[in-house]
Structure 1
Amino acid sequence: MKINICGVNVSAYKNVVFSLIKIYGIGYKTSVKICKNLKIENKKLIKLNETEKISLIESIRKITIENNLKMLIKENLKRILNLNNFKSFRHKKKLPCRGQRTKTNAKTRKKMNYENI
């Protein structure tokens, strides 16, 4: 059984901390922090009260997640590409842009298939 939280189907029989990780933009540390603030650490999602569910959804809505976060990342990358500096040229050539070496490593970075940005 799955429960819809903020447009994402999340498993109801898992612990709340681990079920929130399925949402894009919420990792383990963020989900632990949310659960500590709401004091619902060791509960399954299906056993939450209505008030706890409502407070959980409200706290998640304060965070940028899913499509909003993906659009924000794309906008930041486009902004970097339009600057025409060293970092943007490295991005365009699909090479590492944070000072890593390329003689022996960076094989996976060179192989990556990026969408047309």
Structure 2
Amino acid sequence: MARIAGVDLPRDKRIEIGLTYIYGIGLSRSQQILQKTGVSPDIRVKDLSDADVVKLRETVETDYEIEGDLRRLQRMNINRLMEIGCYRGRRHRVGLPVRGQRTRTNSRTRRAGKRTVAGKKKAPRK
């Protein structure tokens, strides 16, 4: 089993697709990595040699921001926006859509816990 950047790649998929299971690597970046290392994109993960796995691991971990480092970087960027109090930072803090979407309707996923039902009466207190 190939383990790159702390992620177990699925054995039965092509390496081109298997690399996309690493956070921060999509299909185009996966193709760049394979071209740089000289590994064929058609090989299945289970058929990789140890030398190929070592080449892929070194390239991925040295040349790209992935997994924990990338998550930390994104979290720091969002915290910076919230600290300076800009519009996008305030939207992040309140949990509303950040990129200009309408909120009168839609935006259900972003406002998940704030849903109310119109016309519902509360139970009377005793």
Q: Give structure 1 stretches of 5+ with no counterpart.
A: 113-117
Aligned to 2:41: 41
Letter of the 2:82 counterpart: L
Aligned to 1:115: none
Q: Give structure 2 stretches of 5+ with no counterpart.
A: 114-126
Q: Give yes or no for contact 2:3–2:9 (8 Å, CA) kept in 1.
A: yes
Structure showing greater radius of gyration is 2
Question: What do the CA deviations read for 1:58-112 (whole angstroms, capped 9, x no partner)?
Answer: 2111111111111111111111100112222222221112221111121221117
1:92-111 alignment runs, 5 A limit: 92-111=93-112
**Count of equivalent residues:** 112
Range with greater deviation from structure 2 (30-39 or 47-56) = 47-56
- Deviation, 1:7, is 1.6
Q: RMSD over aligned Cα, in angstroms?
A: 2.0
TM-score (norm 2): 0.77
SS in 1 for 2:9: strand
**Which portions of structure 1, spanning 4 or more consecutive aligned residues, are displaced by more than 4 angstroms?**
none
